[in-house]
Amino acid sequence: MITNKINTILNNSQQGDIDYTICNYIKMNLKEVAFMSIEELARKSYVSKAKISKFIKKLAYDNYIAFKDDCLLELEIRKQVTNTNYFLTKKHLHDSLSWIEKNLMKIEQSQIDYFVRKIKKAKHVYLYGVAYSHLLCKYLQYEGDLFQKDMLVLDENESTIELKEDDLLLVIGIEEDALSKQSSRYLRKLLRSQGRKLLISTQMIDQKMLNYFHETLLLPIDHLEMKERRIMFHCLIDMMMSRYHECA
């Protein structure tokens, strides 16, 4: 996801670097950049077209069109969140939490236990997600550290990991569009590698994606907007790690 990639570079670059300059411009003007030509982006960020092309490759995009498509996807996901009309009242909060609980209760405990067993059994656990799902992966990694479980959050800016037979890839996808048949080249390569592959997503996931995974945990999202889904996924991670502790 473009935001994850941009933030990674910004967090690891000096303000005077060319990459920092390009990243900062894209981050502050994403709505406009999604519709710019490569020549216009180069002019607006005060670098050459060649620098932009090199930068796009560094972000692991095949070409400028793929980069713009990811920008549009990011805007669509943001729209799903910001379009939600939230009234900060006790009643709304009560209703939201009530629906989150009802949806969580529909998940079979046996499914959660299966995922926990596979995480415990795997020699290495690799976590992949985009946008908010990427943050959840980092949270799961932090929780795993408490149990001394080797977990690594994958970043598309880095080289692709070659999974071994006894490794586990856990993909988290709150934003279903980000895990469609048009998903990143990085993810597609991961799904073709060895190791066991598990998916945690919603029931709205592209059904063609399910064929790549050995097991899926698809959460119902009845009456839940995007912000409420995030809370529910966070609760699920807590449930899984609590179960992990019980089985330790």
Q: How confident is the model at residue 125 (pLDDT cuts 50, 70, 90)?
A: very high
Per-residue pLDDT band at 111 (split at 50, 70, 90): very high
The three-point CA angle 197-185-159 to 5° equals 80
Q: What is the mean pLDDT of the chain?
A: 86
**CA terminus-to-terminus distance, the chain:** 34
Question: 164: domain range?
Answer: 90-247
Asked if 112 and 243 touch (Cβ cutoff 8 Å), the reply is: yes
Q: What is the pTM of this model?
A: 0.72
Give the pLDDT score at 239: 93
Shortest CA distance to 170 belongs to which of 104, 228, 215?
215
Q: Work out how many domains the chain is built from and give that number.
A: 2
Residues 63 and 126 occupy one common structural domain: no
Instruction: Write out the two tokens for 60.
Output: 């692991």
Amino acid (one-letter) located at 203 = Q
- pLDDT tier at 158, thresholds 50, 70, 90: low
The domain boundary residue, chosen from 40, 58, 82? 82
Do 72 and 104 belong together in one domain?
Answer: no
- The domain boundary residue, chosen from 82, 113, 128: 82
Separation CA 139–CA 162 (nearest Å)? 23
Residue 186: which CATH number? 3.40.50.10490
Residues 127 and 172 sit within 8 Å (Cβ to Cβ): yes
